[in-house]
Amino acid sequence: MMAAEIVVEGRVQGVGFRAFAQRKATVLGLSGYVMNLRDGRVRVRAEGPRETIEDLVRDLQKGPPLSRVERVSVTWLPPTGRFASFGIRYAEFDT
């Protein structure tokens, strides 16, 4: 098991990106969350097998039809095990 913090830059807010990420992560069986950041980026926290998280990263690099992904950065972290499912967060609690 691994965890990753994935930050997506580009036109990724207001285009259904969070719902897209949640759908993809749920289908892949990952846990965690996706949220908009104040600066226009999207943060994804995913936990699961590394290969599966890498599949999610590939999906996020494409994004939903109205998005324009310019950059995706991934930071690998130890898993916390505190997420039961994959959800959407609607407010930025930390930076």
One digit per residue, pLDDT tens: the chain, 95 residues? Answer: 999 999 999 999 999 999 999 999 999 999 999 999 999 999 999 999 999 999 999 999 999 999 999 999 999 999 999 999 999 998 765 54
Provide the whole-model pTM: 0.94
Predicted local confidence at residue 95, as pLDDT: 43
CA distance linking residue 7 with residue 41, whole number of Å: 7
- Per-domain boundaries in the chain: 2-79
Predicted local confidence at residue 45, as pLDDT: 98
For residue 34, give the nearest of 52, 16, 10, 11 by alpha carbon: 16
Out of 36, 41, 43, 68, which one is annotated catalytic? Answer: 36
Catalytic residue list contains 82:
no
Architecture of the structural domain at 2-79: 2-Layer Sandwich (3.30)
Catalytic residue list contains 36:
yes
Predicted local confidence at residue 79, as pLDDT: 96
